[in-house]
A and B are shown apart, each in its own frame.
Chain A
Amino acid sequence: MNRRVVVTGIGAVAPGGVGVKPFWELLTAGRTATRRISFFDPAPFRSRIAAECDFDPVAAGLSAQDVTRLDRAAQFALVAAREAMLDSGLAVDADNAHRVGVSLGSAVGCTERLEREYVAISDAGQRWLVDPDRATPYLYDYLVPSSMAAELAWLAGAEGPATVVSAGCTSGIDAVGYAYELIQEGTADVMITGGTDAPISPITVACFDAIKATSAHNDDPEHALRPFDRTRNGFVLGEGAAVIVLEELAAARRRGAHVYAEVVGFASRGNAHHMTGLRADGREMAAAITAALDDARLDPTAVDYVNAHGTATRQNDVHETGAFKASLGPHAYRVPISSIKSMIGHSLGAIGALEVAASVLAMEHGVIPPTANLHEPDPQLDLDYVPLTAREQPVDVALTVGSGFGGFQSAMVLARPEVRA
């Protein structure tokens, strides 16, 4: 049984604003939301830049109790889910609850609270034997981040399959891919899916410092993340969430829902190479793209826009360019490719879902968001990366890709619903 799966609701919390509207305005304006870290004193760190969300959880609709209880990543996810549910107009009740599931991506879960609580009960790293008497009662929910999927399921009233997908930096795209497969095969009719992460805390900043994966353009935070640029020197951490309501097409049409786009293909592959390194040829990402296009029964030439992983590490942009050439052939040189990370940073397990959302919005509005900060092309990277300025251009089919530590390579193909009508 291969049912068709469509996007009927989108919610976003991203650097630059809460909600889909400010998210899309930032992207299409080519503005960047990266800045010097304000959440803590970044002076002792190598990379002192991040794309932070100016997020007021109470203003965003959460209760004081939720704010106390929930990690920032869970708060983002709930706010984005609420917007997505409202946007979809979906009603979940006793009749359909068991057909509604949750699949939420997160790379580092509730690290922000795990670190904060650790500091409190270890006397700031002075004791190995932390004090159990001072532990918050919510600590277990931070340890095991499926607590965040439970929060979303409670919010939506979902009683179908629920899980957190935690595949590192492909968590967001993989969570949506999993949701797509469950609806396609008939296990669920609706999935509340997406990704969330709030990694801008000392431990995460320090661990990317230790491998020099993040940008040290500390003198120019607004222009630090430079995908495909000759002067790129790493990514900038971001944070946020995107939640998407996926539904079976016929049911969505029956209830008169607005159908943004159809998920037509998804695949993941491992590179089996190195926990943090990438092969230059991008072979496994290419294999994922090819498999996703096969799943979609579309030719590479059908792709109108590629939403790149585009982290601006020296390796990634070469790897990815290789993957596009290997999978799309000559079409790789014609299709516009852009990295929204240049504007909103790399929010680890959230970014894949934010990129799915951006791809859907590109189709919806006929606008391709640019790659900001791309002033000096790298002669090694010779594709059309849509530098600096958004392009008004119809997009019927979009490809979005992700790549992460552990060798994860994922690709998803989205299409306007009439493409396969």
Chain B
Amino acid sequence: MTAAVVTGIGVVAPNGLGIDEYWAATLRGESGIRRITRFDPDGYPVRLAGEVVGFAPNQHLPGRLLPQTDRMTQFALAAGDWAVRDADLDLAALPALELGVITAGSAGGFDFGQRELQNLWGKGPNHVSAYMSFAWFYAVNTGQLSIRHDLRGPIGVFVTEQAGGLDAVAHARRKIRRGARLMVTGAVDSALCPYGLTAQITSGRLTGRTDPRRAYLPFDRDASGHVPGEGGAILVVEEAGQARARGVRGYGTIAGYGATFDPAPGSGRGANLVRAIAGALADADLDPAEIAVVFADAAALPELDAAEAAALAEVFGARGVPVTAPKTMTGRLYSGAGPLDLVNALLALRDGVIPPTVHVAPASVDHDVDLVIGGPRPLRGGAALVLARGRGGFNSAMVVRAGPG
């Protein structure tokens, strides 16, 4: 079957803009988690976030796009530009109807949404922006990316909370298998305005800790929830034959995917993360032993960490595979997390190095996982597994392999 090769990457993350800056910071273990700066968080029970800093939209985007876009769309468009540039190909020379866009989102352009809600309720209906009809909705990034790069092929949008980013990339691969030449895919999220943060707090999954180094601690006996972040990654995924024909090796191949949903709470049936992992491995035609590293979902809530650790132990054996969570440096990015972990996985395979999980001390690891802490670790092998769980019971797993498939 036609392989889907990642040939371009664009990253917007709290600890780095662009693939090089991000990867260097990640290997150094540099965290982007800090006190919220976009508004005064003193009145809120959560005061830390993985905020993207130093992103000046007018340096990256045409002025015409600025008034009509939320921050997360500006991230997506910048990351999209970088990914297309990284892929080093002339999109205009390809048939537009065979180039598509599939992204995920979780909250839409929520900062924009809060501003317009305030305009409506505080001032009146005629104060609502003409851009509101699309700047907030979940489909906006796919639409704007399609317009910006003249991509007229298959398009789509998924919302599966944190799992959605992998679902989007999987569907992009499906579209390549069904005949598309190239897909722009991935996800970016940002809901760090006051109303967005408030809504996130009600999930009951955020930590209220205020020390950035002791806040988001997955698999740690001190785990108390996650820090929210913003950002994500946009990828260019190409049909392998086309990539080969233009002499491009790419970062690696989207080799396998599995998605499941957990049984209803109280049903007495067990979670289905293992089934998602097994599905992804079977799809990639790989044995567990061939997986060199797992990028964990890393919820940082004791029960969810235990479930993830148990699933990994069931598939790989106790401490049977190196596990890491570079998202300890960014916070959880919701739909952006899966694609950013795909970037981590592809770069880890490229460079033979596993990026570390930060802030968790060896002595405090509470589960039987071989967590990569204290610095990067050499990687041996040619495939990596990325996990993402969405609140409510969504499990997505994706396997990437080194090389062009």
Which residues of A approach B to under 8 Å, CB–CB?
44-46, 94, 97-98, 101-102, 106-109, 114-115, 118-119, 121-122, 124-126, 128-132, 135-140, 142-147, 149-150, 153-154, 157-168, 171, 174, 178, 181, 185, 202-203, 205-211, 213, 267-276, 284, 287, 404-408
Contact = CB atoms under 8 A, between A and B. Distances in A.
B128 interface: yes
A289 B179 CA distance: 16
Contact of A98 (B119, B147, B203, B260): B260
Contact of A97 (B96, B158, B263): B263
Interface string B185-214: 000000100111111111110000000000
A98 B120 CA distance: 44
28 contacts: A45-B125, A109-B108, A115-B117, A122-B121, A125-B120, A126-B122, A131-B198, A138-B202, A140-B391, A146-B164, A147-B392, A149-B394, A154-B265, A159-B269, A160-B260, A164-B160, A165-B158, A166-B138, A166-B159, A168-B139, A207-B136, A209-B125, A210-B130, A267-B154, A272-B150, A404-B139, A405-B139, A406-B140
Contacts of A153: 261, 264, 393
Given A125-B120, A270-B152, A408-B155, A162 B160 contact: yes
Contacts of B237: none
Contacts of B120: 125, 202-203, 206
A121 B392 CA distance: 25
Given A140-B200, A163-B167, A203-B120, A132 B44 contact: yes
Contacts, number: 280
Given A94-B269, A140-B202, A146-B390, A162 B155 contact: no
Contacts of A94: 269
Q: Please provide the 9 A-B residue pairs with the shortest distance between their CB atoms, ordered closest to farther.
A: A406-B143, A125-B121, A125-B122, A150-B392, A166-B138, A140-B203, A270-B146, A143-B199, A161-B259
Given A129-B39, A132-B44, A143-B196, A407 B133 contact: no
Contact of A146 (B144, B160, B263): B160
B156 interface: yes
B272 A98 contact: yes
B378 interface: no
Contacts of B150: 272
B100 interface: yes
Contacts of B200: 140, 143
A146 B106 CA distance: 8
Given A98-B272, A149-B160, A168 B143 contact: yes
Contact of A163 (B45, B158, B174): B158
Contacts of B116: 203, 206-207
Nearest to B42: A129
A146 B394 contact: yes
A145 B158 CA distance: 10
Contacts of B132: 203, 206-207, 210
